[in-house]
Amino acid sequence: MKSNEQLFARAQQVIPGGVNSPVRAFRAVGGTPRFIERAQGAYLWDAEGRRYIDYIGSWGPMILGHGHPAVLDAVLKAAADGFSYGAPTEREIELAEAIIGLVPSVEQVRLVSSGTEAAMSALRLARGATGRHKIVKFEGCYHGHADALLVKAGSGLATFGHPTSAGVPADVVRHTLVLEYNNLAQLDEAFAAQGSEIACVMIEPIAGNMNFVRASVPFMARLRELCTKHGALLVFDEVMTGFRVALGGAQSVYARLIPGFRPDMSVFGKVIGGGMPLAAFGGSKDVMSQLAPLGPVYQAGTLSGNPVATACGLATLKEIARPGFFDALSAKTRSLVTGLEQAGREAGVALVGDSEGGMFGFFFASALPQNYGVVMATDQARFNRFFHAMLGRGIYLAPALYEAGFVSAAHSAQDIAATAAAAVEALA
Ligand code: HOZ
């Protein structure tokens, strides 16, 4: 049997840092990444045959758990008909119709292959449609690794203490304004000073790349108001939250709290591909018609709308649209957070958590952080000890304090109870 350590040593010879995406390297928490051999339901098995309850779920897509029979069946059938054609298919229309049917702010959608590609394309479209250059993003929000968005970002960049990447020329980010999340005064100031030059504001409505932090309702309401007033597009990055925190995404959560609320454009990924490389961006017909071949904003991709990925996404959306799916998932995720908080109380450790639908976060702090600076000030050393103590007990949490967690429909009440019990031991 191969060990994780042997595999990691071998990987580091041929892949930078031994991984194809930095957070997987365990640099934030230390130790050896687990090399996964297979997954089923709520579980992962590593190269050493150890089983883990999976709270990453491929960073969100695996909302049904691994190897859901209906999804597997759809993927196998689609694969038998060909992997990729580079030509349109009916399934692309079906997936676009499914997304539009579930998200009222989206009238047209274009499919791409990754969240990075979707966010980057949405940004170009927003600039092309408004004829403006400036964009606003928030500290700790991560919108993939396109140059203009790679400024003061969360996730892997927070882990390595370089919130802005090397290799991004200052000129390229000259038009990117970075504001503090949930800071109303800064928002007002930025729009007062430069509102007429702002093409769009891109935001993770519930941030999942600085752990789990919600935009407050007054902040979101004001953001909507300012974008409308100044003719800037409000772009929701729902790569993590879309079809994950609720069937209609985070925008449906805010629409319940702010009458008439909707973003102008949305970016999706993860769940809409069900674990396959698929993402999308969409908005009104007006804005989307600026895209080639109709309009002057160019965007393209050989694997866009891939027939196997669309089959996987469609089958996943069909399952999560069943009545009661999100009620059950939300209750399960909430009970996980409650269990972790209870474990904290028993150990006399300040631990606080939050969740929406099947996405959650927890912090070693006494109150939920409202922005990146406060997240960074929570107890990282304790998180790292806790992470390893949990991993040793077969609980696979995100290997960095700056990441959100994910629960799937396949997690059982016993899995959740076992996780809470492990947390009690780990904190003791
Ligand atoms: N950007 C992801 C975390 N927010 C990590 C992706 C991966 O390593 O797969």
DSSP state of 258: S
Give the C-alpha separation, 173 to 121, whole Å: 16
Q: Are 291 and 126 in contact (CB under 8 A)?
A: no
The model's pLDDT over 95-149, given as tens digits with 9 standing for 90+, comes to: 999 999 999 999 999 999 999 999 999 999 999 999 999 999 999 999 999 988 8
Q: How far is CA 337 from CA 127, 169, 342, 357, in A?
A: 40, 41, 9, 12
Q: Which of 52, 55, 142, 181 is catalytic?
A: 142
Q: Does the pLDDT of residue 155 top 80, yes or no?
A: no
Output phi, psi for 52, to 5 deg.
-130, 145
Task: Assess whether the C-beta atom of 155 lies below 6 angstroms from ligand 1.
Answer: yes
Residue 224's nearest CA partner among 193, 196, 173, 260 is 260
Nearest CA to ligand 1 atom 1: 155
| 237 a catalytic residue | yes
DSSP 103-126: -TT-SEEEEES-HHHHHHHHHHHH
Tokens 């049917």 belong to which residue? 101
Task: Assess whether the C-beta atom of 145 lies below 6 angstroms from ligand 1.
Answer: no
What percentage of the chain reaches a pLDDT higher than 70?
98
Give the C-alpha separation, 340 to 334, whole Å: 10
Task: Assess whether the C-beta atom of 211 lies below 6 angstroms from ligand 1.
Answer: no
Q: Does the pLDDT of residue 159 top 70, yes or no?
A: no
Residue 285's nearest CA partner among 42, 139, 108 is 108
The model's pLDDT over 336-352, given as tens digits with 9 standing for 90+, comes to: 999 999 999 999 999 99
Question: Which residues are CB-contacts of 323 (< 8 A; sequence separation ≥ 6)?
Answer: none
Q: Does the pLDDT of residue 152 top 90, yes or no?
A: no
Return the pLDDT at 49: 97
Q: How far is CA 237 from CA 120, 141, 169, in A?
A: 11, 9, 24
Return the pLDDT at 358: 98
* Angle (CA) 105 110 114, round 5°: 105
Task: Assess whether the C-beta atom of 403 lies below 6 angstroms from ligand 1.
Answer: yes
The model's pLDDT over 171-222, given as tens digits with 9 standing for 90+, comes to: 888 899 999 999 999 999 999 999 999 999 999 999 999 999 999 999 999 9
Q: Across residues 362-391, what is the average pLDDT?
A: 96
pLDDT band (50, 70, 90) for residue 22: very high
Q: How many angstroms separate the alpha carbon of residue 138 from the centre of ligand 1?
A: 19
The model's pLDDT over 254-308, given as tens digits with 9 standing for 90+, comes to: 999 999 999 999 999 999 999 999 999 999 999 999 999 999 999 999 999 999 9
Q: Across residues 44-67, what is the average pLDDT?
A: 98
Structure tokens belonging to residue 297: 């904003």
Strand order in the sheet with 108-112: 108-112, 279-283, 265-268, 233-238, 198-203, 134-138, 176-179
Residue 180's nearest CA partner among 419, 381, 375 is 375
What percentage of the chain reaches a pLDDT higher than 90?
93
Q: Across residues 401-414, what is the average pLDDT?
A: 97
pLDDT band (50, 70, 90) for residue 13: very high
Q: Does the pLDDT of residue 161 top 70, yes or no?
A: no
| 402 a catalytic residue | no
More confident: 157 or 257: 257
Q: Does the pLDDT of residue 162 top 80, yes or no?
A: no
Q: Does the pLDDT of residue 228 top 60, yes or no?
A: yes
| 270 a catalytic residue | yes
Q: How many angstroms separate the alpha carbon of residue 21 from the centre of ligand 1?
A: 6
Q: How many CA atoms lie less than 13 Å away from 142 in the CB half-sphere?
A: 27
Q: Which of 152, 270, 396, 402 is catalytic?
A: 270
pLDDT band (50, 70, 90) for residue 158: low
Q: Does the pLDDT of residue 156 top 80, yes or no?
A: no
DSSP 214-244: EPPHHHHHHHHHHHHHHT-EEEEEETTTTTT
Task: Assess whether the C-beta atom of 176 lies below 6 angstroms from ligand 1.
Answer: no
The model's pLDDT over 306-325, given as tens digits with 9 standing for 90+, comes to: 999 999 999 999 999 999 99
Q: Does the pLDDT of residue 45 top 60, yes or no?
A: yes
pTM passes above 0.85: yes
Q: Does the pLDDT of residue 160 top 80, yes or no?
A: no
In the predicted model, what is the mean pLDDT of the chain? 96
Task: Assess whether the C-beta atom of 23 lies below 6 angstroms from ligand 1.
Answer: yes
Burial status of residue 118 (CB atoms within 10 A of its CB: 0-12, 13-18, 19 or more):
buried
Give the C-alpha separation, 247 to 258, whole Å: 18
Indicate the top mutation candidate among 26, 59, 114, 238 to test ligand 1's pocket, ranked by most ligand atoms within 8 A of CB: 59
Q: Across residues 243-258, what is the average pLDDT?
A: 98
Output phi, psi for 182, to 5 deg.
70, 15
